[in-house]
Amino acid sequence: LFADAEMLGTPDPELAATMGFSGFGKKARTFDLEAMFEQTRRTAVERSRKVLEAREREKEDQTEKEFRIPCTDSSVSASSATGPGSTLTEREAVCSESEDDSNEVSSGPSMQSQSSAKGPAEDTDDDDEGEFIGPPLPPGFKDSDDDNDNDDTEEEDNNPVKKIPDSHEITLQHGTKTVSALGLDPSGARLISGGYDYDVKFWDFAGMDASLQAFRSLQPCECHQIKSLQYSSTGDVILVVSGNSQAKVLDRDGFPVMECIKGDQYIVDMTNTKGHTAMLNSGCWHPKIKEEFLTCSNDGTVRTWDVNNEKKHKSVFKPRSVQGKRVIPTTCTYSRDGKLIAAGCQDGSIQIWDRNMSVHTKFHCRQAHASGTDTSCLTFSYDGTVLASRGGDDTLKIWDIRQFKKPLNSADGLPSFFPMTDCCFSPDDKILVTGTSVKKGGGSGKLFFFYRETFQKLYEIEVTDASVVRCLWHPKLNQIMVGTGNGLAKVYYDPVKSQRGAKLCVVKTKRKERQAETLTQDYIITPHALPMFREPRQRSTRKQLEKDRLDPMKSHKPEPPVAGAGRGGRVGTHGVTLSSYIVKNIALDKTDDSNPREAILRHAKEAEENPYWVAPAYAK
């Protein structure tokens, strides 16, 4: 209709009214999209221009505020020099100058001092920017808290003893025998302990309460003492080295992942066997490659392994004595970058190989420790330049492997009775820690702290009245774990300097032990039973227990069995009749004291006078 109306032109209004089309003859509205887009674009441009202008204005205000104080100072000095009349002009001149040079670097007091020197009028403008509020501070004033903090940090730097976290301790009861292995995962959430009692226990700091109970205990290597435990660099698997010839790898929850193969002990050349043939001494993970680990054994070899291939070792390193004979490695480790492999041997030498070249040693020290003693630990510093060794000759030495002829420093008089006595570096690499052994009743085992640069003894902790075997200073937690000869694993920490770890479990109260639910009978659910037979539904076992405790019938303790003669109307254990008494005391007494020869010869005279069995038969 609209189209027809356009074609016909404007009709007579009377006709339109008669036909009932009041809007007859109006054109249809068309939408020009291009014009609309153009309009929108212009509006957006206009808005963004306004926002930019507002920002520029804010910046200008800010720079003006920044230079307001220098301006004030100059005006004051000018007024004192030239009198009050020229103050305004001088200030205007300086301000205009500062505005011109606002793009250049501002020379004058720092923002901190400006803000502290501002008056209250200017501070109210800067509230949003977090400036100081109130009158200006006195000229020599310093914030006391900041001052104390700085003093504390300076004091800590000057005195390394302050960094040792030993103000608090907790004791984890592993067992009764020596805790010979300790391991913490990289995050510091879980601790594992292993001992001479063949047990490996798992402790979860976040899950433990103040009762300090292990959440899992297992014997992964049957009846072999645990020599070493270590989490891999990612913390998902654990290497277990025990007294047998096969190292094991467990997952975080203690389930076996792989077991190394046992070698053929009848082959002379150890390179040709697929695994170790004698007792293991030590083992550790590669610091960078999460699938690779290292073990050393009494068969005179150090072997590297891959978790994904349990059928054969990756490579073999054979330490040799001065005469070129086989020598037993007692400890082994990787350098911090994983490129070097170090082993301490029974002839007192420390031998270091390039990980990729197993034939010849890269560094070698023949008389590192006394020959015939077990070097119990080798560990590299965090910066990788220094190697520390704990000898069975009661010494602790520190070496620069580039100048391997003599140690940088040495400490003696540190008795060690265990083939796995530890030493370790502090997280900041400035302190070296080791434990000492004691004979039974010979005093307390101690933890000694030495300054790395000078080997001066900084500090000592009396741990317990038994040897200190393992020590471990975790860099993330800043807590020291200690394994002792009497079955304890101790954790030393400081509430301020330490993170998480033992701090998580000491604050949790012990869980209340539930009463034994033996008194409550099983509740039988019968939804369709008649009302008279239906049992009332139990709301909670605790309430039911309390009710049963009050019921004299249900909570009646049964009579213990009667021992000896009967009493209280109850028959004794062996009855009350004569026959039962005789059975108990006489018939069961079978001891015959008579001489057997006399017992036979007693019938000799009678047999001779009145023969009955043998003589009549032969007479005929």
Triad 268, 248, 274: Cα angle to 5°: 25
Residue type, 224: H
For residue 35 the two structure tokens come to 């014009």
Residue type, 443: G
Q: What is the pLDDT of residue 93?
A: 42
For residue 355 the two structure tokens come to 């990980």
pLDDT of 160 over the 50 cut: yes
Contacts of 517 (CB under 8 A, 6+ apart): 541, 545
Long-range contacts of 394-401 (CB under 8 A, 24+ apart): 395/369, 396/423, 396/432, 396/434, 396/450, 397/368, 397/369, 398/432, 398/452, 398/455, 399/350, 399/365, 399/368, 401/340, 401/352, 401/363
Q: How far is CA 40 from CA 48, 49, 50, 53, 54, in A?
A: 12, 14, 16, 20, 21
Query: 320-361 pLDDT, tens per residue?
Result: 888 888 899 999 999 988 889 999 998 888 999 888 877 777
Per-residue buried b or exposed e for 77-97, using 16+ beta carbons within 10 Å of the residue's own CB: ebbeeeeeeebeebbeebbee
Query: 178-223 pLDDT, tens per residue?
Result: 999 999 998 888 999 999 999 999 998 888 888 888 888 898 888 8
Given CATH 2.130.10.10, say whether it is the number of domain 163-507.
yes
Q: Which of 37-46, 138-147, 522-531 has the highest mean pLDDT?
A: 37-46
pLDDT band at 69 (very low <50, low <70, confident <90, very high): low
Contacts of 334 (CB under 8 A, 6+ apart): 284, 285, 286, 287, 294, 340, 341, 342, 355, 380
DSSP label of 221: T
pLDDT of 156 over the 70 cut: no
Mean predicted lDDT score pLDDT of the chain:
78
Q: What is the pLDDT of residue 3?
A: 46
pLDDT of 94 over the 70 cut: no
pLDDT of 239 over the 90 cut: yes
Neighbours of 460 (CB within 10 A): 12
Q: Lay out the sheet containing 409-411: strands in order across.
A: 377-380, 386-390, 396-400, 409-411
Q: What is the pLDDT of residue 521?
A: 60
DSSP label of 200: E
Which residue would you say has higher pLDDT here, 565 or 14?
Answer: 565
Whole-angstrom distance, CA of residue 26 vs CA of residue 6: 8
Per domain, the residue ranges of the chain are: 163-507
How much of the chain exceeds pLDDT 90, in percent? Answer: 20
Nearest to 259 by CA among 278, 244, 279: 244
How much of the chain exceeds pLDDT 70, in percent? Answer: 74
Residue type, 370: A
pLDDT band at 78 (very low <50, low <70, confident <90, very high): very low
Query: 413-445 pLDDT, tens per residue?
Result: 888 888 889 999 998 888 899 999 988 888 888
pLDDT of 79 over the 60 cut: no
Which residue would you say has higher pLDDT here, 84 or 463?
Answer: 463
Q: What is the pLDDT of residue 229?
A: 93
Q: What is the pLDDT of residue 126?
A: 44
- For residue 401, which phi and psi values (nearest 5 degrees)? -65, -15
pLDDT of 152 over the 50 cut: yes
Query: 38-48 pLDDT, tens per residue?
Result: 889 899 999 99
Q: What is the mean pLDDT of residues 143-153?
A: 51
pLDDT band at 87 (very low <50, low <70, confident <90, very high): very low
pLDDT of 613 over the 60 cut: yes
Q: Are strands 445-451 and 457-464 parallel, antiparallel or unpaired?
A: antiparallel
Q: What is the pLDDT of residue 97?
A: 45
Which helix or strand (DSSP H or E) is residue 447 part of? strand 445-451
pLDDT band at 103 (very low <50, low <70, confident <90, very high): very low
**Packed helices 33-66 and 68-82: angle between N→C axes, nearest 10 degrees:** 40
pLDDT of 405 over the 90 cut: no
